[in-house]
A and B are shown apart, each in its own frame.
Chain A
Amino acid sequence: MSWPVKTIAERTGDLLPGSPWTAALYVLLTILAVTAFMTVTGLVLIYAERKIAAHFQCRLGPMRVGWHGVLQTIADALKLLLKEDIVPRDADALLHILAPVLSFAGMLLVMIALPMSPSLQVADMNIGVLYVTAVSGLGVLGILLGGWSSNNKWSLLGAMRAGAQIISYEVSATLALLVVVLFSGTLQLSGIVQSQEAGWWIWRAHGCGIVAFAIFLIAGTAEINRTPFDLAEGESELTAGFHTEYSGLRFSFFFLSEFLNMFVLAAMTSTLFLGGWMPLHIGHFTVFNGVMDIIPPGLWFTFKTTGMIFLIMWFRWTFPRLRVDQLMRLEWKILLPIGFVNLFVSAACVVTGCYFFAR
């Protein structure tokens, strides 16, 4: 079974020769749909996080607004929209306003490259992996600017911590990502998904996949500033870190991009290591593969991403926060050497063709 990939960008291109207005309308609808998707995903994630966190801690979580509190996040979002939007007097007003937008933009730009199903992907670049690595760096710029422009020592400390942390862990994340690029032989995200038709890279790559998966998950959790790596906003140390001085709509931008970053990380992990929208296949077992193909690819993507999100939430509500020096030691003395060795071993595997179902 082949999987023809058609992106939204390509469909717009097809429409363009006929009537530019139809194409423009199509683009507009796409933008609306993406916005709606992000809002809904963000709200659902926040609700899920609160509920799951509560049950991890023997609590119930929101119960009052709507059935089991399902409308709680909507109520909170409305409240945030109505809050006064404060720019502190001594803050750098332009940068203060720009920072949440940059942070959001970094997340948004990664989002458009995610392959959610063969027919649902906004743009499919032939250098997708490189693009994702590059634009996700915009997020740290937003955090740094937010902390810097607030003119507040806690914000500045949080931002500097976040900067050091994200830049350090980006190295390990990229090394783990390169393992998959080596095995699949392409930088295109849909190409990486297609290359897992015989099986997911996490188990096909003779252990290298599992190591790379673990490194990517740890480094990714650090990059999105979630516990156990939430030093940038550790409330017991820095009140709220880089977004201490933010309120109302701008705070909600930071908040939303934090949660959608979790979605992006989960989606990237499942795309790279768990086959993205590709159903669970095992080599040449045609019958088994056929049965798995009954479930549509979009659902596979949803399952895998949800599973990863759940895992990340589980981490957050179990593990204690690291100290700054422990954080740096974990990256530079443990993850980075393991990542390099893993990269060399997988290069050897690829050269000798020593992995499951090599072509």
Chain B
Amino acid sequence: MYRPEDILVPKNVDEVLSILAEHPDTARVMAGNTMIFEIASRGLAVDVKTLVDITQVGLGNVEEQKDGIHIGATVTLTELAQSKLLLGNPRHSVVAETAQEITPTQIRNVATVGGEICAGMPFFDLPTSLLALNAKVKLRKKNGQRELLLKDFILDFLTLALEPGELLTEVVVPRVDKASGAAFMKLGRTASDLALVNVAAAVQIDASGRCESANVWLGGVGSTFRECAETQKILAGSKLDQETVGKAAKAAADFEPASSIHGSSEYKKMVIPVLVRDCVQKAESKVRR
């Protein structure tokens, strides 16, 4: 069993950054603490001696700013699931709805947005939705800060563009002024399962009722999340009629998804078009015109 040598509980972000700067290789951030021991038990945290609790450093707010909704790294899934700010918007509500689909209440109560992203698991749910919303992440380290698109931050299974000493402080869901809607769907073996496949879709509709742009992402299909580029292309400019959506949904399965004991690649290829179709339609139905 994994036993850290030390657990530190800093009181502000600067303190966190100093600790990380001092021990870039042996200190690791701990937020909701629902994954870190799992990661360690697979031998993926052998060098980690110090855990740094970041839940007391003031990263727990969801607020609206000019450029969009800012979600602090330690906002819990329960807080997301209940956020009025998110639920009130036909596009951003997908973040709350996705958090609701992460079914174990005990996990939702402590697991954080930052942890969902930084765990680096390509079948988690929240990243799929955030990717479909073109979310950005804000990163800080002792002498600097930067901002990346989430899709440039998540690189591969357990692999992020997170530098040693760096902390994810915020997720920004960009504001969209056009009529827009977004939805999330998930297929698991049981009702409270990790996703076998998940999908998120966001659509923007122009004044004439055409789909101006669509973002469709899949999780659970390989070593990282997958943007359905062909699907997006087919949807863009269309009226999102049944035929086009069906064609676009089919195109989403035009690759070899990863097999697991819970679902073969062939099975995933059969259900992806169904999920994508339903998800795009659900996203479209949420648009307020």
Asked whether A and B interact, the reply is no
Q: A residues within 8 Å of B by Cβ? A: none
Q: B residues within 8 Å of A by Cβ? A: none
